[in-house]
Amino acid sequence: MYPNLGADVAWLNIKAKLLSDPALLTKLKGYQVAKTKADQAKRAKQKMATLASSLSFKDPEDPELINAIAVKNKATGALFKWCRATLKCYDIYKKVEPLKLNAEKMKKAKEAGEKELAETERSLAALEASLAELDAGMKVQKAELDELQRVSAEMERKLTAASTLINGLGSEQVRWSADMVAI
């Protein structure tokens, strides 16, 4: 998991390359779990399991394992504790990262949906305003039509009455003319 160690991770190489690095603590503090590769984590877990079994521990997660290592060398115990914590973080990261990516994807989809909803609501409001305007126009036109139909019916009634009167007067004219001739 530490760069530039190569495939040979024997204690002398670790001691020479890793522990002699004056920036080791800074590198450990700034270690980014996201950059850990699956094969690195697997090898580290195997090495930790091997170390645990060599010290007669069945479980590399046993809390007493750190004490057993720290008795031999406190720095190594602290480094083992850091490795175990980092591997736990890696395991959590591997579970959480897909969920995080899915959450981001869902957030973008939600934002796109909200944007589409807002656009649809704007369109709906415009259509409702247009519909209200058309309804108002229709009511005015309907009132005008009703008035015209009322006036038309009134005129037709008057026309009928006038026609009846004219026809009645026409027959009266014939009778008056006949009366005038007779007088």
Q: What is the pLDDT of residues 44-67, one digit of tens each?
A: 999 889 888 888 888 888 888 888
- SS3 of 5, please? coil
Determine what percent of the chain is predicted with pLDDT higher than 70: 93
Take residue 45 and report the two structure tokens written for it.
Answer: 């877990």
7-11, 45-49, 112-116, 149-153: least confidently modelled range:
7-11
The CA distance from 157 to 168, in Å, is: 16
The CA distance from 18 to 39, in Å, is: 20
The pLDDT of residue 102 is above 50: yes
CB atoms under 10 Å from CB of 66, counted, come to: 15
Q: What is residue 11's predicted lDDT score, i.e. its pLDDT?
A: 63
The pLDDT of residue 168 is above 90: no
Q: How far is CA 29 from CA 87, 142, 159, 172, in A?
A: 14, 81, 106, 125
The answer for residues whose C-beta is within 8 angstroms of residue 34's C-beta and 6 or more apart is 93, 97
The pLDDT of residue 3 is above 90: no
46-55, 83-92, 96-105, 135-144: least confidently modelled range:
46-55
pLDDT band, residue 155 (cuts 50/70/90):
very high
7-11, 26-30, 101-105, 111-115: least confidently modelled range:
7-11
Segment 139-156 shows an average pLDDT of 96
End-to-end CA distance of the chain: 143
Which helix (H) or strand (E) segment holds residue 137: the answer is helix 74-182
The pLDDT of residue 10 is above 90: no
Q: What is residue 125's predicted lDDT score, i.e. its pLDDT?
A: 97
pLDDT band, residue 1 (cuts 50/70/90):
very low
pLDDT band, residue 22 (cuts 50/70/90):
confident
